Amino acid sequence: MTGRRTLILVLLALFVVAGMFLWKNPVSVARKSAGTTGLDAPEFALKTLDGSRLTLSEYRGKVILLDFWATWCSPCQEEIPRFVEWQGKYGNQGFQVIGISMDDNPKPVQGFVQDFRMRYPVAMGTQEMASQFGGILGLPVNLVIGRDGKIKAKHLGMYDLNQLEQEIKTQLDSQ
Amino acid sequence: MTCRSVLRPAMVCMYWCVAALCLSQAGFSQWKADPSQSATSLGQSSLIQPAELAKSLEAAKDKPLVLNVGPRMLYVQAHIPGAEYIGPGSDAEGLKQLHARVNSLPHSKLIVLYCGCCPWSHCPNVAPAFTELQKMGFTNVKVLYIAENLGTDWVYKGYPTDRGSK
């Protein structure tokens, strides 16, 4: 009987501690609910900067890093050279970076793409497309999409690039 | 083969390498934000925390005028209810719009500026907008402290949010 009472007290204490943790850290809970991880990545059709058509489905079967960025976003400026490097490093393993510019004005985007030697498809994002991906409520936003077309990870804000590379490698290794 | 015949091509090669490096850095540098315009230059006394702003927006009267000085694309995705879109504080057109919007207001009016485009230390918009209002003589201006971005620090914390443009 005493053992049972102790167990109940321990469970109760754990419940209270967990409640206090969630109360103090509401963001971690909210972030999960706001994500789109595990869902099929929504199809989109956009125009690249050179005017050609860009769809997500044409890259089906590849591991995709979908990067929402902007020319004024300095964390994006830190990330993009790494993405260019990864495109070269993992491209022949079925990896593809796609850049979606969230600039209000397309004018500076072309110059930025040239200066940063972004040798992967870049298109101007739209409100509709951003909403399809759960909303772009700050930059950068990176999504890792698996070969099966499902969203494996969504990162809002600055994220550890070594960790992101690891996530991509994991997807490249999985069939 | 003399020492000079080896050194000369090496020096020329080094010169071109340094020149190429300088040119490539010059290409990147035009995109770098001015550190003096970083949000971190704002003093603590000029900041308002999200919880405090959310509470003041619930009040029946004396609500602050909330102005978004970030990119329009992000404003349309999500913004604070009642917030008016002005334009990025980092560009001249945005500051012109800001000037026009507040020009007729009393200088004691409580104005809250916010952006939320990116982490606080990287936001290029709020500090120039704040400085502009100070120059105009406004004495009751606050900047909403958004540590990471509007999603993480406002929307996903459950504070009231609107979508679309005005």
At B64-113, the pLDDT tens digits run 999 999 999 999 999 999 999 999 999 999 999 999 999 999 999 999 99
Query: How many contacts (CB atoms, under 8 Å) link A and B?
Result: 103
Which of B79, B148, B86 is closest to B111 using CA atoms? B86
**Chain B residue with minimum CA distance to A124:** B73
Q: β-pairing, A122-124 with A95-101? A: parallel
At A26-58, the pLDDT tens digits run 333 334 334 578 999 999 999 999 899 999 999
Q: What is the pLDDT of residue A31?
A: 40
At A71-86, the pLDDT tens digits run 999 999 999 999 999 9
Q: Do B74 and A115 touch (CB under 8 A)?
A: no
A104 CB neighbours in chain B (<8 A) are: 71-73
Q: What is the least distance, in Å, from the CA of B54 to any CA of chain A?
A: 16
At B112-138, the pLDDT tens digits run 999 999 999 999 999 999 999 999 999
Q: Does B71 touch chain A (CB under 8 A)?
A: yes
CATH topology classification for B35-157: Oxidized Rhodanese; domain 1 (3.40.250)
Q: Do A140 and B31 touch (CB under 8 A)?
A: no
CA separation, residue B151 to residues A6, A70, A89, B13, B104 (Å): 42, 17, 32, 50, 32
In 3-state terms, what secondary structure has residue A155? strand
